[in-house]
Amino acid sequence: MSAQIIPVDPFDYVVFGGTGDLAERKLLPALYLRMKDEQFSAPSRIIGASRSAMSTQEYQAFAKQALAKFVDISYQDNEAIAAFLECLDYVQVDAKSDAGWAELEALLANNNNQIAAYYLAVGPSLFGDIAERLHRFNMVHDNARIVVEKPIGRDLKSAQALNDDIGRYFKEEQVFRIDHYLGKETVQNLMALRFANALFEPLWNSAHIDHVQITVAESIGVGGRGDYYNRAGAMRDMVQNHLLQLLCLVAMEPPASDDADAVRDEKLKILRALKPIDSNNFEQMTVRGQYVAGASSSEGAVPSYIDEITDEQSTTETFVAIKTEIENWRWAGVPFYLRTGKRMPMRASEIVITFKPIPHSIFDKNAGKPISNRLVIRLQPNEGVKQWIMIKDPGPGGMRLRHVPLDMSFADSFEMRAPDAYERLLMDVIRGNQTLFMRRDEVVAAWKWVDPILEAWVESATSPNQYTSGTAGPASAIALIERDGRSWHDVSEF
């Protein structure tokens, strides 16, 4: 089966930080793939903007090597690449001064009819300056959109300030806050699974679900992002955004439609219903970890976090496990266990819904004990869904029960390339569809829940528990769930 491509209106994408890592690894490759699939309408342009002195030809050369490096070889097509490079322009601008802004304004030629998307692939400290200059240089109009990347702040107060800086010049309908997890194919599939099937929704509540696990495990360390990461840590980098967004999609009430605000209203209710964790209960509900030297499946022997970032005193967490609950009628009493970490055994993200055990087994003990049904939604790698059920072991020899998966691997079923999250999100910006973007009040609600946890950790003056690189986190994270008579799903098992 192949995907249906609906072209978007002509646009000018201005990528601030156009020569940076995100542009190189994700944005330019994603835009190329969308163009190759004929999703662009002429005349569309991509304008790199950054402080580096560079000609348009040099920017095209930069983009060409980015595609060579980050687009799968089977999608590198000389003709398509040449056409893509033709769409590129470059302007040297300084976010902190007026240098280059008149040139950018001239390039956009005051064309208010064309969609203009300003992608801020730069640090949050520049958001305010860029938004203000876009306004002052007449580039904010009804067809303009601004796209910002996480982290949106490092706590509630700074997030509010950043949102104010942007909100001074752009209306909320023009602000696209990216959480790239929402663009992942399987994350969107979660909505289809829940709301396009009659099967699951009647069971999707505390009467039938025992608990939910959300795991985002990474095998990589902090690599070249040490400075940023050491200030952020896993809680701000992953939990405040990606994991909470996943939790919202699992737990929200069915929205009345897939309209952006209908969906985001429901997600917001979940964020506001999360059971608070603070200095009174953080020890029972959270675990922090930091990796020490060990082995990585792909890199062999790897150093400790503190050696990697060369900060012996660092108490930054590279792993977090949290037990939380959602205080509403649907979910009261159902634990949600979240965990994420760097230097875990493999890269694997999944959501596991474990149903309650059957009330009574009719089979004798030789048949084996029925195991609770489990729905495993695998976000990456090998995107797909497995519904684990009990069946009779085939063959003669009496009744023996066996736990098997009904297996649907999306890659195998659809014989198509799983698009990168950015491909979907970048085009949604042009379409003006905010469903997969975080609204301001969601960001605020997420920080309101996260801030007291971060504060409790700081006040406790304790350090994260150590775990060996290549393992599933500190022993205390295993205890967090095993205390409740449950265990973490083994991510290598999918």
Which residues carry out catalysis?
242
Shorter beta-carbon distance to ligand BG6: residue 165 or 237? 237
For residue 270, what are the contacts with CB-CB under 8 A and spacing of at least 6? 247, 248, 251, 252, 326
Residue 24 in the binding site for ligand BG6 (CB under 6 A): no
Work out whether the CA dihedral 208, 211, 437, 172 comes out positive or negative: positive
What CA–CA distance (Å, rounded) separates 267 from 479? Answer: 30
389: number of Cβ within 10 Å: 16
Shorter beta-carbon distance to ligand BG6: residue 112 or 315? 315
Shorter beta-carbon distance to ligand BG6: residue 88 or 182? 182
CA-nearest of 159, 165, 236, 180 to 443 is 159
Shorter beta-carbon distance to ligand BG6: residue 139 or 238? 238
CA-nearest of 162, 138, 112 to 11 is 112
Shorter beta-carbon distance to ligand BG6: residue 228 or 329? 228
Contact 89, 45 (CB under 8 A): yes
Give Rg (Cα) of the chain.
Answer: 24
216-235 residues near ligand BG6, rule: CB under 6 A: 218
Shorter beta-carbon distance to ligand BG6: residue 180 or 424? 180
- Least CB distance to ligand BG6 at residue 121 (A): 13
- Least CB distance to ligand BG6 at residue 239 (A): 11
Q: How many residues bind ligand BG6 (CB under 6 A)?
A: 3
Burial profile 161-191: b = 16 or more Cβ within 10 angstroms, e = fewer: ebbebbeebbeeebbbbbbbbbbbbbbbbbb
- Least CB distance to ligand BG6 at residue 262 (A): 26
173-212 residues near ligand BG6, rule: CB under 6 A: 180
Q: What are phi and psi of 438, to 5 degrees?
A: -85, 130
- Least CB distance to ligand BG6 at residue 223 (A): 9
Contact 146, 128 (CB under 8 A): no
227-286 residues near ligand BG6, rule: CB under 6 A: 237
Shorter beta-carbon distance to ligand BG6: residue 165 or 218? 218
- Cα of first residue to Cα of last residue in the chain, in angstroms, is 24
310 by Cβ neighbours in 10 Å (0-12 / 13-18 / 19+) ranks as exposed
- Least CB distance to ligand BG6 at residue 237 (A): 5
For residue 309, what are the contacts with CB-CB under 8 A and spacing of at least 6? 222, 226, 227, 229, 230, 316
- Least CB distance to ligand BG6 at residue 242 (A): 6
- Least CB distance to ligand BG6 at residue 218 (A): 5
- Least CB distance to ligand BG6 at residue 467 (A): 17
What CA–CA distance (Å, rounded) separates 449 from 240? Answer: 9
Residue 383 in the binding site for ligand BG6 (CB under 6 A): no
Shorter beta-carbon distance to ligand BG6: residue 52 or 188? 188
- Least CB distance to ligand BG6 at residue 303 (A): 18
What CA–CA distance (Å, rounded) separates 43 from 11? Answer: 7
Shorter beta-carbon distance to ligand BG6: residue 114 or 245? 245
Report whether the peptide linkage leading into residue 381 is cis, meaning its omega lies within 30 degrees of zero: yes
**Interface with ligand BG6 by CB under 6 A: which residues?**
180, 218, 237
